[in-house]
């Protein structure tokens, strides 16, 4: 633990520096945090609009948005800086969890702690995916210790913050006795009950926002190809339903291996077939790169980092990088995912079973 403390301190200082320097750089998410926080402080229900575009999640993170906005007015500090610092603390927690999961491997922990992809998405972009990701990683650690109630509550909180990671829940359910499954619904149930009572929001309006959300369409992989084939919303909705059912069915049929390997493969399949895209979703890959020790991870991470950097450069004034260039770089990243999956997931399985 003594070796870990300097890593945590250095990591936080680096994250704080990037967060502080990038505070003037505005983006859609930072604007959304402020707008949703403002409406929540005023007691205004955000479902279905503007939640459908600004907060397509269950009503939990909005309390943090409101709380940080309230605090920012007291201490005269930008809300986004406070949020980025808060997200950075969860990154530190994920570093500690990865340290435990990697059997206290300091080199692996250091490389994960200071990897540039997580740094850019958390401290520059200001995305909160690190919170549910940290909860998923913590669930892996708790599962090893057979603390099943805690695992299900952690997974429930992760789902309440970001609903799409429910696609990765089945590997956990395979390893947890059914009598503990009910604890999963406790966090979303309490959150929705409290919010609907305080803000007079109907359950249908909240559910509608969750069902419609699919990330940004038409810029990534198969989603881009589908958008060229048809702009029909019904067509895309049908594909989304088939995509979700397909991921869940595959995860149910997956051969039981190390749970980290199973989750990593599901995340990869998600990127191969998702109709929508969010650059922050790339964050979910990073800890599993280090935990599963797949080959050529650094080359893959460099490719991801380049695409993330190109996209973020479009936000900075006086830098002439077009959004079309950024979207093209992201679309070119998709074949890299396909090739990596074929060689280091699919062929490995064939080799193993032959």
Q: How does pLDDT run along the chain (354 residues), one tens digit per residue?
A: 788 999 999 999 999 999 999 999 989 999 999 999 999 999 999 999 999 999 999 999 999 999 999 999 999 999 999 999 999 999 999 999 999 999 999 999 999 999 999 999 999 999 999 999 999 999 999 999 999 999 999 999 999 999 888 889 999 999 999 999 999 999 999 999 999 999 999 999 998 898 877 677 778 888 888 888 877 777 877 888 899 899 999 999 888 788 999 999 999 999 999 988 999 999 999 999 999 988 888 899 999 999 999 999 999 887 778 888 888 898 899 999 999 999 988 877 654 443
Decide: helix, strand or coil at residue 217.
strand
Residue 217: strand pairing partners: 276
The answer to whether 286 and 112 are in contact (CB under 8 A) is yes
pLDDT computed for residue 352 by the predictor: 41
pLDDT computed for residue 349 by the predictor: 62
pLDDT computed for residue 354 by the predictor: 33
Residues 6+ apart with CB under 8 A from 269: 247, 250, 341
pLDDT computed for residue 317 by the predictor: 82
pLDDT computed for residue 353 by the predictor: 40
Question: pLDDT tens for residues 302-338?
Answer: 999 999 999 999 998 877 788 888 888 988 999 999 9
Preceding omega of 48 cis (within 30 degrees of 0): yes
Within 10 A of 194 (CB to CB), how many other CB atoms are there? Answer: 13
Closest to 288 in 3D by CA, of 117, 90, 87: 117
């Amino acid at each position: 633990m003594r070796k870990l403390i300097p890593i945590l301190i250095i990591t936080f200082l680096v994250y704080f520096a990037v967060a502080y320097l990038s505070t003037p750089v505005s983006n859609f998410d930072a604007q959304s945090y402020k707008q949703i926080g403002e409406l929540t402080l005023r007691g205004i229900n955000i479902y279905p609009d503007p939640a459908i575009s600004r907060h397509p999640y269950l009503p939990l993170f909005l309390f943090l948005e409101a709380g940080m906005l309230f605090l920012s007015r007291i201490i005269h500090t930008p809300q986004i800086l406070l949020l980025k610092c808060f997200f950075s603390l969860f990154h530190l927690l994920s570093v500690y969890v990865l340290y435990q999961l990697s059997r206290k491997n300091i080199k692996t922990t250091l490389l994960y702690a200071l990897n540039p992809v997580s740094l850019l998405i958390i401290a520059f972009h200001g995305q909160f995916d690190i919170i549910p990701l940290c909860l998923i990683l913590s669930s892996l650690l708790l599962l090893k210790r057979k603390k099943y109630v805690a695992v299900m509550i952690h997974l429930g909180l992760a789902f309440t913050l970001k609903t799409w990671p429910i696609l990765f829940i089945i590997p956990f359910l395979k390893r947890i006795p059914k009598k503990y499954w009910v604890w999963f619904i406790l966090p979303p149930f309490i959150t929705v009950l409290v919010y609907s009572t305080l803000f007079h929001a109907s359950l249908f309006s909240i559910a509608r926002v969750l069902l419609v959300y699919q990330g940004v369409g038409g810029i990534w992989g198969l989603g881009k190809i589908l958008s060229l084939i048809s702009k029909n919303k019904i067509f895309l909705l049908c594909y989304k339903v088939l995509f979700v059912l397909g991921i869940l069915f595959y995860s149910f049929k997956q051969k039981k291996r190390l749970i980290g390997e199973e989750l990593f493969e599901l995340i990869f399949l998600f990127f191969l077939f998702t109709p929508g895209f969010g650059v922050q979703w790339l964050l979910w890959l990073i800890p599993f790169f280090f935990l599963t020790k797949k080959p050529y991870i650094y080359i893959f991470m460099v490719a991801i980092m380049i695409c993330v950097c190109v996209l973020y450069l479009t936000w900075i004034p006086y830098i002439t990088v077009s959004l079309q260039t950024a979207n093209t770089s992201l679309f070119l990243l998709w074949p890299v995912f396909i090739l990596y999956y074929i060689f280091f997931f699919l062929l490995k399985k064939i080799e193993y079973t032959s």
